[in-house]
Amino acid sequence: MWDQVTSSDRGNYGAAIALAAISFMLLRKWIAGGVCKSHARLDGRTVVITGANTGIGKETAKDMARRGARVVMACRDLTRAKNSAEYIRRSTGNGNVVIRHLNLASLCSVREFAKEFKATEERLDILINNAGVMMCPKCITEDGFETQLAVNHLGHFLLTNLLLGMLKRSSPSRIVNVSSVAHVGGKIEFDDLFFDKRPYSSLLSYKQSKLANVLFSRELAQRMKGTGVSVYCLHPGVIRTELNRHVLAWYPMLKTILSLPSMLLMKTPWQGAQTSIYCAVTEGLERKSGCYFSDCTEKDPSPEGKDDEVARRLWEESVRLVGLNNRH
């Protein structure tokens, strides 16, 4: 009798383990989201990716190189960028991968990058504004801007505008802005963009900067109609990258508590890069210019992300802040 009970229990345990394994695989597949299925080649094309030395930027750069593109990795940390570029060249067999210094927290650095790029490169087919910071302590850049809005929005705003001429000459071309679902509930506080008057909140600042990405994409798409330049923004997913390092520094216990759940419930950098890649290469996507994507599918942004009046006002204020002659 004992043997029979034990055998039955073992069968139940085995069934439970099998069910758990299947459930885990289905959960991981759901979390992974969409995968870019385009086999488009990019031979003869030039791609610029900001923040390409780590995380989803590195995976995006690797994919672009595998498709045959000339990849320009625009990075602040040149040592890490050099190591990543060597890895990408070696793993893809594409030696046409170069690094250029770009510090998005400095308008001077952005202008220097654009000046050098236009002087040395013949074309620009895809610009992927990938770099970003998340929920960092309040810091003020050399230009007097709060860091999250400066890096996540204003630096990319200036960079994109300075490279628009090359993008137009190389058309059909694309601009891909990496935003976040965190834009939901965000607000552009025009009277206090840099938290000079109110207590600083790293979360509210991050949400404002990610909403700015969505609104910038929407307004830019309108301005680029008829030029052959299309614009997309996206939420890459919740990913295991270094982007959350400031949150973990403030709450070190979270690193231990979240280590196992993060392995189970977060995307890998490769999975997180798929929507960026999708927006960059998928054929026939031009008619979706200005749209917001997640998991390689068009999604509705938040109501705040569809406010054309705020988008136009943000554009005008951004032009003033970065000192850009409004010719676009």
Domain containing 149 — which CATH number? Answer: 3.40.50.720
Q: Is residue 15 part of a domain?
A: no
Q: Which residue has the tokens 């030696």?
A: 95
Angle 106-112-115 from CA coordinates, rounded to 5°: 145
- For the record, the structure tokens of 127 come out as 């610009």
49: which residues sit within 8 A by CB, 6+ positions away? 57, 60, 61, 64, 71, 72, 73, 74, 128, 130
- For the record, the structure tokens of 207 come out as 């949400």
Task: Evaluate whether 45 touches 72 at the Cβ level (below 8 Å).
Answer: no
Nearest Cα to Cα of residue 184 among 213, 153, 151, 154: 213
Query: Number of structural domains, the chain?
Result: 1
In angstroms, the CA 152 to CA 318 distance is 12
pLDDT tens for the chain, residues 1 to 328: 445 556 555 555 555 555 544 544 444 343 447 999 999 999 999 999 999 999 999 999 999 999 999 999 999 999 999 999 999 999 999 999 999 999 999 999 999 999 999 999 999 999 999 999 999 999 999 999 999 999 999 999 999 999 999 999 999 999 999 999 999 999 999 999 999 999 999 999 999 999 999 999 999 999 999 999 999 999 999 875 554 554 545 555 555 555 555 555 689 999 999 999 999 999 999 999 999 999 999 999 999 999 999 999 999 999 999 999 755 4
- CA dihedral 118→160→50→81, nearest 10 degrees, is 20
Q: Is residue 28 part of a domain?
A: no
Q: Is residue 192 part of a domain?
A: yes
Q: Is residue 169 part of a domain?
A: yes
Indicate which residues carry an active-site annotation: 206
In angstroms, the CA 207 to CA 134 distance is 9
In angstroms, the CA 129 to CA 119 distance is 20
Q: Which residues constitute the domain of residue 217?
A: 33-322
Largest CA distance in the chain: 88
Question: For the packed helices 202-223 and 308-322, what is the interaxial angle rounded to 10 degrees?
Answer: 100
Instruction: Report the predicted TM-score, pTM, of the whole model to 2 decimal places.
Output: 0.86
Q: Is residue 112 part of a domain?
A: yes
Nearest Cα to Cα of residue 114 among 161, 76, 78: 161
Q: Is residue 19 part of a domain?
A: no
Q: Is residue 232 part of a domain?
A: yes
Q: Is residue 9 part of a domain?
A: no
**What percent of the chain has pLDDT above 70?**
81
